[in-house]
Structure 1
């Protein structure tokens, strides 16, 4: 396999890495916001309503933590896929069955991360129900 072919085949995993990086940025911003809100509630005087809000924020933070871990695994798999592609080309290995599997597994992890993110969004919207 020619290196230019490997570069062409690495475009999709590279875009996946970029998407995961943007997604991680969003997750991190939301997580920091939750921590700030939770710290404000912790500094307040104890009240049942405030304690309920604190529990909701903790639940939302758990969703974001799990989504972050899953997104990081997805990014690691995508990076592994790119490295493996170049290693296969360098070693002139033509059998590349594992590469599509790595990409698919990476997308599955990212999909589950999106599900956890959506759960956090739903939890955050539930605070505004009348």
Structure 2
């Protein structure tokens, strides 16, 4: 178990300043996604109404011409939604990265030679070095 590090007041001030912008961005992306979902709901409701209109009803048959426009609108809304959701996820990951950096959550990467880039007497980093060495060994990759 890693020791808990309590940040100083100056560190907290920097953290709040660094996390504020992504937090506001996340709120804006969430509001945008909400608008997109509302638009999709309106398209679906309107399409359901138009499908109920019978072809023999001359007074409302002109409304059926609106279906192709609604279909195109639904496609565009879906594309926007498929771009908006990953942006919300990535923004949330940025916030998590800022918070984890604040509390100095231990992490390491392999340097390609089976060693961790960070070397110290810290047990978590020694474990990371062993993991890097095992991950790059020929036996673990499955190749002969």
Using the size of structure 2 for normalisation, the TM-score is: 0.57
Query: What's the counterpart of residue 134 of structure 2?
Result: none
Alignment: residue pair count: 93
What's 1:25 paired with?
Answer: 34
Pick the aligned partner of 1:72 from 73, 78, 85. 85
Is 1:6 aligned to 2:19, yes or no?
A: no
Q: In structure 1, what is the Cα distance between the partners aligned to 2:18 and 2:51?
A: 50
Contact 1:31/1:64 (CA < 8 Å) preserved in 2? Answer: yes
Give the deviation of 1:34 after TM superposition: 0.8
Structure 1 residue 89: Cα displacement = 2.1
Structure 1: 5+ residue stretches without partners: 94-130
Query: Could you tell me whether the CA contact under 8 Å between 1:13 and 1:78 is conserved in 2?
Result: yes
Question: How many angstroms apart in 1 are the aligned matches of 2:55 and 2:39?
Answer: 25
- What displacement does 1:70 show? 1.0
The gaps in structure 2 that reach 5 residues or longer are 1-6, 107-144
Trace 1:34-53 onto structure 2 (pairs within 5 A).
34-46=43-55, 49-53=62-66
C-alpha displacement of 1:41: 1.0
The alpha carbon displacement at 1:40 in A equals: 0.9
Partners of 2:85 and 2:74 in 1: CA distance = 16
Larger of the two Rg values belongs to structure: 2
State the Cα distance separating 1:79 from its structure 2 match: 0.5
Q: SS at 2:55's partner residue?
A: coil
Higher helix fraction: Structure 1 or Structure 2?
1
1:7: Cα distance to partner? 1.9
What is the TM-score when the length of structure 1 is the normalising length? 0.62
